[in-house]
Amino acid sequence: MHPLLRNFLRINWPLFGLMVGLLAFGIYAIHSATWMRDQDFAKSQLTWILVCTPMFFLITLLDYRWVRFGAVPLYILGILGLMLTMFIGEKRYGARSWLDLGPMSFQPSQLAIIAGIMTLALFLSNTRAMPAIFRILCCAAIVGAPWVMILIQPDLGSCIVWIPVFLSMLFIGRIPKRWLILMLVVGLIFIPLVVHFGLKPYQYARITTFLNPEADPLGDGWNITQSLIAIGSGGVFGKGWMNGSQAQLEFLPEHSTDFIFAVVGEELGLWFTLGVVGVFAVMFVAGLVHLRRAPNLFHFLLVTGCLLLISLQAIINLGVVTGVFPTKGMSLPFISAGLSNLLLMGLLLGILLNTQRTWGRVAMPDGARSMREVLA
């Protein structure tokens, strides 16, 4: 049997099926939300899925060692992409974060994020004998370089997602707890200063609107107000496919991307929204179970970063749409329209499926059979 065919048959098909189900459901929801517009967003989404499919299978079927060898080159490529965006990037929604590639647009920050996770996992797994302070400084440099450039764009949401992923990887990478606590304390001290002096007026307005959306329902509170109206009006069983008034009449903003979950709630009701949340929960639990089979610290860190990034992006999107978090432009993984979202999620899940396929054939460390021993 050809090695590629053998690798293909070893894919974790249940997890792959969940991804395909989310993608198909996304096309269904995007078409329902945008069918009254001139542009066929569902057809564009299907095109982007077909474009990303070869890359996804390439990541999934390659030898697992490519991740270790490709981490640094991919990181450098991500940094170069961010630098290029600073000079010739296209500005959308107040952020210069897009590169126009002719028939498509791409956010280099997405590539930089996944490359940062790969490089950080590689560094932490190979420097356990280094003094903690030097490890922290090097990790801060690895994450800080793309983080600062993304913040300058400004893309505050991507920067916020980085923080828990970064701290979690430091904790797993055996950074002493006293240093992590010190970092958290310093961060908490600086939060009021950042909010008061660092946020732009529209970002500060999002926080005040989150605290009291009724204060300006026709201005800064419009997005969250319309989102809550859409979800609430859908009730338990929804208004029916393509019958959502908030999306069809253009009351709901960004209803094919950031607020696609509100379209699901309005048209299909409570049960379908719970189903979407349930699928993401199953993917997260499957990832946690998979982590118990990690053969070494590098792979444990890598999969942890990928799993957290998918889960946190889903949690933040769902929280914004339901009013739990302040409004922030962030796509719902696999469901929202857009090429950059598909590329990032395809890379993350491709790495996850690749490790699931190969870990059973990778020799465990000498005598190590438990997660505690792998992380020691």
Q: For residue 99, what are the β-bridge partners?
A: 106
pLDDT score of 75? 92
By CB atoms closer than 10 A (0-12, 13-18, 19+), residue 168 is middle
Task: Inform me whether the pLDDT recorded for 221 exceeds 90.
Answer: no
pLDDT score of 334? 92
Whole-prediction pTM: 0.88
Q: Which residues contact 8 (CB under 8 A, 6 or more apart)?
A: 57, 61
pLDDT score of 309? 92
Helices (H), the chain: 3-9, 13-34, 41-61, 65-88, 108-126, 132-152, 156-172, 177-193, 201-211, 222-234, 245-248, 260-268, 270-291, 297-321, 339-358, 371-375
Residues 304-325 have a mean pLDDT of 90
Query: What confidence category does residue 362 fall into, taking pLDDT thresholds of 50, 70 and 90?
Result: very low
Report the alpha-carbon distance of residue 15 to residue 60 in Å, rounded.
12
Tokens of 180: 């992590």
Place of tokens 């959502």: 244
Query: What confidence category does residue 275 fall into, taking pLDDT thresholds of 50, 70 and 90?
Result: very high
Query: What confidence category does residue 250 fall into, taking pLDDT thresholds of 50, 70 and 90?
Result: confident
Report the alpha-carbon distance of residue 59 to residue 353 in Å, rounded.
9
**Is 303 within 8 Å of 169 (Cβ atoms)?**
no
